[in-house]
Amino acid sequence: MPDRTDPEEIRKPFEWPSPPQDIPRWAFEEASPWRDLDEFVLLARAEERCGRIIELIQTSLPKTLWGLHVARGRRARIYINRQLPGIWRRFSMFHELYHLLHHTRGEAFWSGTATPMTSFEHQADMFAWAAICPEWTEGSDQ
C-alpha cells in the first residue's frame, strides 16, 4: 500500500479505466434492477438481498484503493475513496456491492478454490460497468 504521506503519491493523479468493449449480457441483466437508484434505496435493497445491515462510508484511501468491503455477522461496511469523482465512487460502490452479494464467503474461502481471484474482480467490474453504463454515456463527471 502506498504511503499517503509521500508527496509524490499525493500529487500523482488517479488512473481512470476505459470502459470494456464488451460487457457480458449477464452483467446487464444483474445490474438492471440496481441502476439509477439513489444511495438510500440501493442500500435498502442490498440489505434485503444479503440479510445484513450495510453502512456506506466515504473516506480518504490511497489512490490505488478505490473501495473495499468488510462483512462480519449481520453487519457490513462498504468503504469508498471520497477523493474519487462521483461516477467513480458509484462504480466502486457497485463493484463492492457485487462482492457483498455474490462472494459472501470471504476472500479466504474463495482463494482456496480453483477459481482465480482475478475472475471475481472481473465479475465485479463487469457488474459495476453495466450498472453505471447509462450514467457513463450521459457524459458524467470523470
pTM for the model: 0.78
Q: Is residue 2 situated within a structural domain?
A: no
% of the chain exceeding 90 in pLDDT = 54
Phi, psi of 81 (to 5 degrees): -70, 110
Q: Is residue 112 situated within a structural domain?
A: yes
Q: Is residue 6 situated within a structural domain?
A: no
Q: Is residue 10 situated within a structural domain?
A: no
Q: Is residue 11 situated within a structural domain?
A: no
Count up the domains in the chain and report the number. Answer: 1
pLDDT-derived band at 89 (thresholds 50, 70, 90) equals: very high
Domain span holding position 124:
18-137
How many CA atoms, within 13 angstroms, populate the side-chain half-sphere of residue 40? Answer: 0
Measured distance CA(16)–CA(43) in Å, rounded: 25
Q: Is residue 126 situated within a structural domain?
A: yes
Q: Is residue 65 situated within a structural domain?
A: yes
Q: What is the CATH number of the domain that holds 22?
A: 1.10.10.2910
